[in-house]
Every structure is written in C-alpha cells, then in structure tokens.
Amino acid sequence: MQLRNSAQRYGAIPKLLHWLTVALVVVAWALGTFGDDLPRGVGHSAGPLLHISTGLAIIALCVIRITWRLADPPPSPEKKLLRDGVELTGKVTHVALYGLLAATPIVGVLLQFAHGDALPVFGFSESLHPGSGIRVSQDRSKGCTRCSRTC
C-alpha cells in the first residue's frame, strides 16, 4: 500500500486523514443539531463533551493535514477539462471549504468562552477559559445554557 502521495495518486495516509475529517464533521454536526434531544443522564451530559472533542480533533487534523501537505505535496492536478471560469469557481469553492472547516470549530471555541464556560480538552482538562481559568458556575436549577431542560 502506498502511504505517501505520488505524482498521480493520493497516498493512504492523506486519504485516511481526509475521511477521518469527514466522519468527525458529520458527528460534530449531528451532536450540535440533535444533542439536546439525547436522553437525560449520561448521554445528555456526554453529548456536549463529545461535540467539543470532535471539533477540537478537527482543528488538530487541519494542522496535521496542512503539515502533511507541505511535507508530501499532492498529485499534480488533472488536465484542465472545463472552461477557465468553472475551474476558478472550483478552486475558490475548495479554498472556501477549507476556510469553513477551520472557522467552524474555532467559532465554536469562541462561543464556548463567550458563554463563560471553560474549554474541556478531550475530558482531560477544563482550565482554558481565558478569563478565570475555571468554569463559570451555572445555576443548574434554571436549566443548562444549551437547552431549556434542568439537567
């Protein structure tokens, strides 16, 4: 199996990084959209942690993928088949997708801080709130900040 890129084909590692990113985006989106509907208890409280962890993993993967791309250039583009305008639109869309891929979890992190919450880093640490370094306590009796339920 060819791990690195060749002049004609993507290697197994860049392909793996690509599909891992796709899977994590689907999971992050699903948890962001349907997380509030998870049953109360472990699922309901683990949902936000998993949502944030998948988002942080996407940021990490972006860094790994950029580094990999610099060290192992992708195959040369295929011969131009479409008109210049269409080729340009394709390139702009490609770059915009990468921009959104990085911007979405970064905005999520900023939102987390804007809520006054610390950032749980894969459940190991929760001390990255830029203000206090600790999670700002919430009055749980009024329901959590993510939904109308009393968790």
The residues that touch ligand HEM, with contacts defined as CB under 6 A, are 25, 28-29, 32-33, 51-52, 55-56, 58, 104-105, 108-109, 111-112, 115, 119, 146
Closest listed residue to residue 114, CA positions, set 130, 127, 99: 130
Q: Between 25 and 44, whose beta carbon lies closer to ligand HEM?
A: 25
CA 13 and chain centroid, separation: 19
Q: Which residues contact 130 (CB under 8 A, 6 or more apart)?
A: 113
* Least distance to ligand HEM, CB of residue 92, Å: 21
* Least distance to ligand HEM, CB of residue 139, Å: 17
* Least distance to ligand HEM, CB of residue 100, Å: 9
Closest listed residue to residue 5, CA positions, set 63, 91, 71, 80: 71
Q: Between 44 and 58, whose beta carbon lies closer to ligand HEM?
A: 58
Closest listed residue to residue 36, CA positions, set 114, 132, 148: 148
Q: Between 14 and 52, whose beta carbon lies closer to ligand HEM?
A: 52
Q: Between 5 and 112, whose beta carbon lies closer to ligand HEM?
A: 112
* Least distance to ligand HEM, CB of residue 46, Å: 14
Q: Which residues contact 133 (CB under 8 A, 6 or more apart)?
A: 118, 127
